Structure 1
Amino acid sequence: MTGGSAPRNVGAVGHVAERRSLRGSILEGRYELGGALGIGGTSVVFEARRLEDDAPVVVKVLRDTFAFNVELIQRLRREIEVARRVAHPGIVPVLDEGMLDDGSPFVVLQRLEGECVARLLRRTGPIAPKHVAAITIRAAAILHAAHSQGYVHRDIKPEHVVLARTADGRLDVRILDFGVCASAHAPVEERESERGRVYGTPAYVSPEQACGNPDVDGRADVFALGTFMFEALTGRAPFIGSNVANLLRRIIREDAPRVGLLLPDLDLRYDTVVARAMARRVDERFPSARSLARALLPLAGDRRETEAEIAHLVRHRSERQDLVATVPDYAVDAA
């Protein structure tokens, strides 16, 4: 088994050797790069400003080692494709694209202010059940829009769900990183080249992904949403392993633990929804992200009030590390 390197996050340019020379450069006369915000397994993210209006943006480039890697360039273009084809405000817009002086690509993204669910969990511990239901409903709606256009995210996890509070106090939810998504529009040879490999973060992949099956549909993301809910409710991921191979084997062979056994006071309807979302057999899960959202509606209380409560909890800051992993930081051989 081979493994991709996990993202490493940094807070200062001095800690980033990759692409250091880009700081202060002007890209195609339109963007001035500032400091590096973070580095992932295959990409580097810079803060930047758009020269025409001084607007803050984020610029993503491939690391030196991967600057001309055909597969990773294709993945970067896939994220651009998703942002332009899927009309939903929950998907971070790609504002522009271009080429660096060395001929490698760059992508310009909207700069987000907010807090990812992973950081919220680290700060507050397990999230209130009705808040988990409300966040998942919003995330499921975004994924349903993507699925309707033929895209399966394949890497849903708390780091990729970002919460923000709008100027009028409402909750804004975004899903990041479609760089490892499966596309119904992809050529057959691309899908076949993915056979036997696992795309996504191992702790959150579905059993069919863990088997290295490239022909997944939206129910793989439904499984990941179940994993997301489990962790948000309990503060821990449902599956753990001593290494990636062991973890993937457990996901393939074992039923997910019941959240109700860990939280005996939890409304049993949550346990039922999470268990169905995380069913090992694809045909036993909710048939779509939308149907999962519908099952959660009675559990979210008054959604306007619930979402206002969540928005009040959010701490705003630039989501630095969560913008890094556009291209696969995990692409491992299947168990």
Structure 2
Amino acid sequence: MKSCPICRRLFADDAGFCPVDGVALMAAADVAPELDPDDPRVGQHLADRYQVRRIVADGGMGRVYEALDLQAGRRVALKVLHNDVARDKVALERFKREYEISQLLPHEHIAEVYDFLKLADGTYALAMDFLEGEELRALLKRDKTVRPARLVRMLSQIAIGLDDAHRRQLIHRDIKPDNVYLCGTHEGDVVKLLDFGSVKDKSEGAKKLTVMGTTIGSPFYMSPEQAQGLDTLDARADVWALAAISYESLTRKVPFSGNNGPSILLAILTQDPVPASQVAREQDVPYPVPPTVDAVLTEAFAKDPSKRVATVGLLADRLGHAYGLQGSHRDWAYAPEQPLQESIDLALPELMRAKTVRGVEEADPFATVEADPFATTAMGGGVGGPVGHDKEGMSTGELQAVLAPKGPPVLLILGLVVGLAILFAAGVLAVFVLL
């Protein structure tokens, strides 16, 4: 490994100059980390293996460092839990689950976790693949929208990784722009899906936890069955979340909004989103959205999972076809982005003249009919509550009112409530949820 003598970043052996500082690189062994008086970990060797080089990022759960794996001779991201978080049994279990799932699911489009460590100071760390690029959330904050070819490539790569996870009965449950990482290359992004700590393992004999005060997922991207805490939740919850990301990437707006968690969940359960093509016109986005895309997203946002697009791969296929592309997501995932965009630009004028139709079979000339691998005869389970964006607590009656069917047909809640506790301190809703 090589290192920049100024910023201390690590680089591969074949690199010559630091792209940040423009200086010639040196052997990493000859560049000592710059010590940080506020963080004694910088410069230390953790677990007698990882030399901490510099601080990369801070978050509510922990701190991320760039480190040199002295045994493997590679650069890693070392994510260390804050001490108070490490004392939380539930947070620690989810943290460890990231490592466990990574060992079960090695994949080019899923960020790899190499190691789970208990440090000498009593806290815990993960050694992970060090990624160069940015989260989709950062891209959306800066550029507001994603051009269609980039979105199709992104969704196609995610589909390749997620469909593999789904075949193993692993449901991500927390897909959002923050957990989609884009590593830029000359031909387009290499996409990595992050944070499998919230995974629901539906395989036989899989470990489950009963957790107080934790709900899984981010309200803006939750499917109705996830919002209700239904135990029948399956891969189609991830399909919904990716449809929500696609909608936001094309229109600048999330499909379901509200002032807090409960109001967002109420919208998800009782409303249909405004067609993406209409929102795109109102927002004057640089890339118009054709009505053919509306038909795809309408099916992906079906309240009843049995009527939803069955797999992430099929969602990616239909979105690409809605933009006039031929082939499948496995073709587009690794095709250079610019030729894909040129194909879309050629097809777009005719697509924009199309009328919005109901049913993807009419909108998608390439659509194939597939049996629904997740078909069920009954819905059941417990009740979950909002997390993340909610600002106000709710009474038991208010919670039941939000989750009860009303307006348009909504999934019936047949299961009993697993447990419910309302905490008004700090205005946060807490519930018991079976993970």
Counterpart among 34, 43, 48 of residue 29 in structure 1? 48
* Equivalent residue, structure 2, for 1:209: 226
Give the secondary-structure state (helix, strand or coil) at the position aligned to 2:215.
strand
TM-superposed CA distance for 1:175, in Å, is 0.7
* Equivalent residue, structure 2, for 1:306: 337
* Equivalent residue, structure 2, for 1:279: 302
* Equivalent residue, structure 2, for 1:105: 124
On the 8 A contact 1:277/1:285 being kept in 2, the answer is yes
Report Cα offsets for 1:23-75 as digits up to 9, x if no partner: 33211111012333223332322221222465321111221112132222221
Root-mean-square deviation (CA), in Å? 3.1
Letter in 2 for 1:306: E
Structure 2 vs 1, CA of residues 165 and 188 (structure 1 numbering), >3 Å: closer, same or farther? closer
TM-superposed CA distance for 1:219, in Å, is 0.5
Equivalence map 1:35-50=2 (5 Å): 35-50=54-69
Q: Return the TM-score normalized by structure 2.
A: 0.62
On the 8 A contact 1:141/1:293 being kept in 2, the answer is no
Letter in 2 for 1:229: S
Does 1 or 2 have the higher relative contact order (CA < 8 Å, sep 6+)? Answer: 1
**Aligned residues with identical type, % of pairs:** 29
* Equivalent residue, structure 2, for 1:235: 252
State how many pairs are aligned.
Answer: 301
Measure the CA separation in 1 of the matches of 2:171 and 2:218: 14
TM-superposed CA distance for 1:77, in Å, is 2.1
TM-superposed CA distance for 1:309, in Å, is 7.1
Asked if 1:174 corresponds to 2:215, the answer is: no
Report Cα offsets for 1:194-222 as digits up to 9, x if no partner: 59953122211111221233542110000
TM-superposed CA distance for 1:100, in Å, is 0.1
Asked if 1:218 corresponds to 2:235, the answer is: yes
Report Cα offsets for 1:73-96 as digits up to 9, x if no partner: 221222112212123200111122
Q: Could you list the runs of 5+ residues in structure 2 that have no partner in the other structure?
A: 1-33, 282-287, 327-331, 342-386, 389-427
* Equivalent residue, structure 2, for 1:122: 141
On the 8 A contact 1:199/1:332 being kept in 2, the answer is no
Structure 2 vs 1, CA of residues 201 and 300 (structure 1 numbering), >3 Å: closer, same or farther? farther
Measure the CA separation in 2 of the matches of 1:105 and 1:130: 40
* Equivalent residue, structure 2, for 1:314: none
On the 8 A contact 1:209/1:216 being kept in 2, the answer is yes
Measure the CA separation in 2 of the matches of 1:130 and 1:170: 10
Give the secondary-structure state (helix, strand or coil) at the position aligned to 1:190.
coil
Letter in 1 for 2:95: L
Q: Which has the larger radius of gyration?
A: 2
Measure the CA separation in 1 of the matches of 2:339 and 2:198: 32
Deviates more, 1:36-45 or 1:156-165: 36-45
Report Cα offsets for 1:150-173 as digits up to 9, x if no partner: 21111111222122234x645311
Q: Could you list the runs of 5+ residues in structure 1 that have no partner in the other structure?
A: 1-12, 311-328
Letter in 1 for 2:127: V
Equivalence map 1:246-325=2 (5 Å): 246-263=263-280, 266-298=289-321, 299=323, 301=325, 303=332, 304-306=335-337
Letter in 2 for 1:40: G
TM-superposed CA distance for 1:277, in Å, is 1.1
Structure 2 vs 1, CA of residues 300 and 86 (structure 1 numbering), >3 Å: closer, same or farther? farther
Structure 2 vs 1, CA of residues 16 and 127 (structure 1 numbering), >3 Å: closer, same or farther? farther
Give the secondary-structure state (helix, strand or coil) at the position aligned to 1:198.
coil
Structure 2 vs 1, CA of residues 183 and 308 (structure 1 numbering), >3 Å: closer, same or farther? farther
> Which structure: greater helix fraction?
1
On the 8 A contact 2:153/2:337 being kept in 1, the answer is yes
